Structure 1
Amino acid sequence: MDERLVRETVRDVWAREALAGLSEFVTIPALSPAFDADWARTGHLHAAVEHTRAYLSARPIEGATVEVVELPGRTPLLLLDVPARDATNVETVVVYGHLDKQPAAGAWSPGLGPWTPVVKDERLYGRGAGDDGYAAYAAATALEALHAAGGGHARTVVLLETGEESGSPDLAAYLEHLSDRLGTVGLVICLDTSGADYERLWLATSLRGIAFLDLSVRVLDSGVHSGHASGLVASSFRVLRELLDRIEDPRTGRAKLPELEVEVPRDRLAEIGVAAAEGFLAPQLPIAEGVAFAEDDPVELVLANTWRTTLSVTGADGLPPILDAGNVLRPYTSLKLSFRLPPTVDSTVALRAIEKALTTDVPYGARVEIARAEAADGWNATPRAPWLESTLDEVGEDVFGRPWRALGLGGTIPFLGLFGRAYPDAQFVVTGPRGPGNNAHVPDEWLHLDQTARVTEAVARILHAHASA
C-alpha cells in the first residue's frame, strides 16, 4: 500500500467533498427521539439518513452497497457494506457512527447556529458535525483512500444508527436482526469518542456504567410551622441525608456498598500510570476560584473519574426557592440521584443494592418512594492483539508524530456495552477527533478538521493491517 497516497487521498476527499457533505448534514435538525418524540412524523431523522445514503452511494468504493434498514416502530439504520479487498482475514469489521443529534441547547455565539454550518479557524461549527456526523464521511473516506492506494481490508460494514443520543434503545434489536448477515465480527471501530488533546491518536479503553433514580422521603402530609413541629418530627432532608450516607462516604465520596466497587485491571492501571507521567489526567473544567480537585494524587484522581462509583445529585423537588422559603418543616424532599458505576460492575445488581440500602430500616419509619430507576452497564476493552498494538505504534509515529495514548472515560455510552456483549472476542478501536473545548452537547459545537483527517488516515491504516492479521 502506498501510504503517501492514503494521506493525499484522505486530505483531498475531505477538502473537496466530505466537508461539503458534512456541512449540508449540519443543516438537518435531526433530533434524537428523546428530544423529538414525534420524530417519525417530523421526518428529520429520515432526512439525515437519506442525505447520508445519497452521499455514500455516490462514493467510488468498488462493490459497496448502501441500504436503509428500518424495523417496525424503531429508528432507521443505515449500512454501508463493502466486500473484502486483498484480505486473508475473513472476519467482518464494523465501523460505528450515529446520525441523530442533540438539540440546540441554548444561545450560540454571534455568527454561529446549530443548523448553520460555519468553517472558521480550521473548525466546522454546527450541531452534529463532531457528534457524530463526521463518522460516516470519515469511514467512507478511509475506504476510498485504501482503494486508491492499493490497500486491503476485510469485509467492512459501516453501521450508522439514529438513536445514540437517546441511549441506543433500538441498537440491540438491530444487532440481533443483522447477526447472521454480519457474521464473525473481529474488529469494531467506534468513531464517537474524544481525547485529551489534538496532537495524537486517543483510544478509549473503558466507560463507566450508570444507575439513576428519583428518591423521595416524606414525613408529613403537609407542611407545618417549624416552631410547632421541628424536634418532634425529623426533617425529611435529615432522613434523606442519613440514607445517602449508607451508600457514599460523605467525606471521601467513596462508595460503601461492595456491589459498587471492582478491582481495576492491570492494563488499565498501566495506561493511567503512563498518562499520569505525561500530565494527561483531568479535562479542562470551569472550576470555581479556590476549589481543589477531589484527590491530590493524580492517579487516584483518574481512578475516581473512570473506575470508581460516584454519586451526583442532579435534581431536587420539595425545596422552594430561597426567596420563597418560610419557617416551615417541609413534608417531603425528593432528589434525582445519578450513580456512575465502574466499567465492569453489573449495573442491575448495583441498582438493586442501592434500592435496598435506601428502603431498609428507614429512620423514624419515614415513607420512602423510588421512581424511574434504570441502569446500564459500562464497558471494558478486550486486551489488544499484537497486530493492533504494533499498528497503533506505527500510526502514532507516521500520522501524528507522537505516540498514541489510551484512557478510560468517565461517562456512559450504552452502545459500547451492547457491542461488547455481542462481540466479546473482537478487537476494539474506540476513537475520534473530538477533544478539549469541542462543546459536543452545548452551544458552539465544532469539529477539528485537521485532527479529523488524521483520524481518518489512522482508520485506513488500521483496516489495512487487519486485512492480513
Structure 2
Amino acid sequence: MLKKIYNEVTREWDTSVEEALKSFIRLPALSPDFDKKWEENGVLLKALEEAKAWAEKQGIKGLRCEIIKDDGFTPCLFIEVDATSDKKFERSVFFYGHLDKQPPNEGWDPDKSAWEPVIQNGRLYGRGAVDDGYAFYTSLAAVKVLQTLEIPHPRCVGLFETCEESSSRHYESYLKEAEQKLGDIGLVIALDSCCGDYDRLWVTSSLRGMLGGTIEVRTLNVGVHSGEASGIVPESFMIVRRLLDRIEDSRTGEIIPKVFQTKISEEIHKQNVGVAESLGDRIFAAYPWHGKTEPLTKDACEALLNRSWRPELTVTGVDGMPSVENAGNVMRPFTTVKIGMRLPPDVDAEKASAALEEIITAEPPFNADVKYVPTVASNGWSAKASAQWISKAFEKASEAYWGNKPAYMGLGASIPLVKLFSEKWPHAQFMVSGALGPNSNAHGPNESLHIEYCKKQTASVAYLISQYEE
C-alpha cells in the first residue's frame, strides 16, 4: 500500500498539484497586515476561488467546497469530503492551512522572484510555496489518491484561511460558524510547520507561545543639540536599554524573570538529545550567519531547548531614530522599540503579558515617560501522548519513504490555532508537520519548497488517513 500511495502522489504532483501551486505563487495574496486595500484588490478572495475551482476539478467523490466571508474580514474556504469507509466513525479528519502570504521582501536571486515560480535543484521557488500554499493542494491530493487506489477513508473536512500571517484574527469566529458542518474531530492535520532535515518524517511535538508590544520612552518634547543636552538630559535609548536589562541578560540572551520560564521535563530533554544527535551541526548551519558570528551556545541540545522550551526576546522594530545618513548631532525626544518574546509552550501568555508590562513600567529611570502597549499574547501548545495507531502510522510511513524513523521536535515558532484546536477537540490526535526545512526561507528571499520531501509528506498524510482509528 505504501509504495502505491507514493507512486500515485507523484503522479498527482506531476499532472496537477505542481501547476496549481505555480498559479498560486503568481498571486500577490498578501495578508491584510501588509495590504490595507486587500478587500478592494480582491487577491485573497481570488486565491480561494482558484483553490476551490482546482479542488472541484479533481473528481473527488463526495467533495463540497464553500467560501465563507464575513463583512470586513478575510475569507475562508470550507471543504468537506464524504467518507468512503464502511466504518461509522463519530469523528472526522480536519485539515488546516492558509493561503495568505508575507510581503516579497528584498534579496531574491536575479533569476528568481516572489511572484514568478521557478524550479531549480528539486525546489519550487516563490512566495507562499512552503508557507504554506502547498498545504491545501496536498491535503486534497492525499484524499484523491486514496480514492483512486480504492483505499477507504473517513469523512474529511477543512477550513483554510487567508489571515494567518496577520494573527488569524477572525478564524475562531469562522470556526464557530462552521461548527455544525465540521462536526466532532478525531484527527487534526496542520501542515504549516517545519522539518529539521529532509531525511525523515518530522512531527511537531510543541510550539512556543508569543507575546509582544511596543516600549516607548520619551524624555523631551522636541530634539535638542546633543552637545548642549548630553550629560544633563537622560538619553531615551539608554533608558530603553536599562528597561530591556530588566528582562534579558544581554551577555547570554537568558530571560531573567521566572514568570516567563518553565521546568523542562526529562522526557523533553531526552527528545531533544535525540534530535541533536540526528542533526548535529546542521542545527547551526541552517542560518545565514554573517562573518564569524557565533551562536549563543555551541551545544546542539541546549540550542534546541533554547528554541523550543525557553523564553527568548527579539527587538523587531525601532521608531524615533533617523537613518545613519540623516542623523545629526541631536538628542532625540523619544525611542520606541517593538519587541517579541517567545514563551515556553506551557506558560500562560496573558499572565506573562501583564507581568511584562508591570516590569517595564515600574519605577521608570529618571522618571521618564515610559509606556508599554501590548500587541499580541498567544499561548503555545504541547502535544498529548499519541495513540498507538498514529505512532505506528508515523513510523511505517517514515521508514517506507525515507528509510529512517520519524523525529519529534518542539519548535520555536507559534501556530496559535493549534492550541485552539486542542481545546476545541480534546479527544483529537494531531499531525502537526510541515516542509519548511533547511534553506526554505519562508518570509525571506528565495522561499522554496523541497519537492521530493513534499511528495513523501503527502504520501504520509494519505497513509495516516487510511489508518485512522477512534
TM-score, normalization by structure 2 = 0.93
Larger CA deviation: 142-151 vs 52-61:
142-151
Aligned equivalents of 2:227, 2:13: Cα separation in 1:
70
Asked if structure 1 preserves the Cα contact closer than 8 Å seen for 2:209 and 2:349, the reply is yes
Q: 2:284·2:295 contact (CA, 8 Å) conserved in 1?
A: no
Alignment length, in residue pairs?
Answer: 467
Partner of 2:29: 30
Q: Distance in 1 between matches of 2:296 and 2:161?
A: 37
What's the offset of the Cα at 1:256? 2.1
Deviates more, 1:352-361 or 1:21-30: 21-30
SS at match of 2:444: coil
**Cα deviation code 1:363-401 (max 9, x no counterpart):** 221111223533222222222111111111111111221
Q: Give 1:184's aligned residue.
A: 184
Q: Residues 262 and 56 of structure 1: is their aligned pair in 2 closer, same or farther, counting only changes over 3 Å?
A: same
Supply the distance in 2 between the matched residues of 1:277 and 1:107 (Cα, whole angstroms). Answer: 33
Cα 1:187–1:241 shift into 2, 3 Å? same
Deviations for 1:260-317, whole angstroms, at most 9, x for unmatched residues? Answer: 1112244432321111222354461122333221123322211111111111122223
Unpaired segments ≥5 residues, structure 2: none
Partner secondary structure for residue 249 of structure 2: coil
User: How big is the shift at 1:158?
Assistant: 2.8
Q: Secondary structure at the match of 1:333?
A: strand
Deviations 1:420-461 (A, max 9, x none): 332233211111223111122222222221111101100011
8 Å CA contact 2:2–2:400 kept in 1: the answer is no
Partner of 2:261: 261
Offset, 1:329: 4.2
Q: Does 1:81 align with 2:80?
A: yes
Deviates most, 149-158 or 388-397: 149-158
Q: Normalising by the residue count of structure 1, what TM-score does the alignment of the two structures yield?
A: 0.93
- CA gap 1:237/1:188 in 2 versus in 1, 3 angstroms: same
Confirm whether residue 381 of structure 1 aligns to residue 380 of structure 2. Answer: no
- Summarize the alignment of residues 308-323 of structure 1 with structure 2, pairs less than 5 Å apart: 308-322=310-324
- Tell me, yes or no, if the aligned pair for 2:236 and 2:332 is still in contact at 8 Å: yes
1:343 aligns with 2:342: no
CA change 1:290–1:125 in 2 (3 A) is closer
Report the Cα distance in structure 2 between the residues aligned to 1:324 and 1:4, rounded to whole angstroms.
62
Shift of 1:15: 0.9
Counterpart of 1:345, as a letter, is V
Where 1:49 maps in the other structure, the secondary structure is helix
Q: Greater shift after overlay, 143-152 or 111-120?
A: 111-120
Supply the AA of the counterpart residue of 1:37: K
Aligned to 1:463: 465
Partner of 2:209: 209
2:362 aligned partner: 360
Aligned partner letter, 2:426: P
User: Following the alignment from structure 1 to structure 2, what is the Cα–Cα distance between the partners of residues 362 and 400?
Assistant: 56
Q: What does residue range 13-412 of structure 1 map to in structure 2 within 5 Å?
A: 13-86=12-85, 87-106=87-106, 108-280=108-280, 281-282=283-284, 284-322=286-324, 324-371=326-373, 373-412=375-414
Q: Is the 8 A contact 1:200 1:400 kept in 2?
A: yes
Higher mean C-alpha displacement, 317-326 vs 286-295: 317-326
SS at match of 1:181: helix
Q: Deviations over 1:184-220 (max 9, x none)?
A: 2111101112211112111122221222222122223
Q: Residue by residue, what CA displacement relative to the aligned partner does 1:135-164 show, whole Å, maximum 9, x if unpaired? A: 122111111111222322221113211111
Give the CA deviation at 1:226: 4.4
Output one character per residue of 1:1-44: Cα deviation in whole Å (capped at 9) or x when no partner. Answer: x3332222111111112212222222222221112222222111
Q: Are 1:382 and 1:426, in contact at CA under 8 Å, matched by a contact in 2?
A: no
Query: Shift of the alpha carbon at 1:80?
Result: 2.1
Deviations 1:52-71 (A, max 9, x none): 11111111222121222223
Please state whether the residue corresponding to 1:293 is helix, strand or coil. coil
| One-letter amino acid matched to 1:47 | K
1:83 and 1:323 mapped to 2: Cα distance? 62
Q: Could you tell which deviates more after superposition, 41-50 or 324-333?
A: 324-333
Q: What RMSD over aligned residues (CA atoms) do the two structures have, in Å?
A: 2.1
- Shift of the 221–459 alpha-carbon distance from structure 1 to 2, 3 Å rule, reads same
Separation in 1, partners of 2:70, 2:328 = 54
CA contact (8 A) 1:92 1:184 kept: yes
Of all paired residues, the percent bearing the same amino acid is 38
Equivalent residue letter for 1:72: D
- Distance, in Å, in 1 between the alignment partners of 2:433 and 2:64 is 25
Decide whether the 8 Å contact of 2:2 with 2:397 is kept in 1. Answer: no
Shift of 1:228: 4.2
SS of equivalent residue, structure 1 residue 98: coil
Q: Give SS of 1:394's match.
A: helix
Shift of 1:326: 4.9
Distance 1:298 1:335 in 2: 31
* 1:464 Cα deviation after fit: 0.9
Letter of the 1:46 counterpart: L
The answer to whether the 8 A contact 1:117-1:126 is kept is yes
- Could you tell which deviates more after superposition, 194-203 or 237-246? 237-246
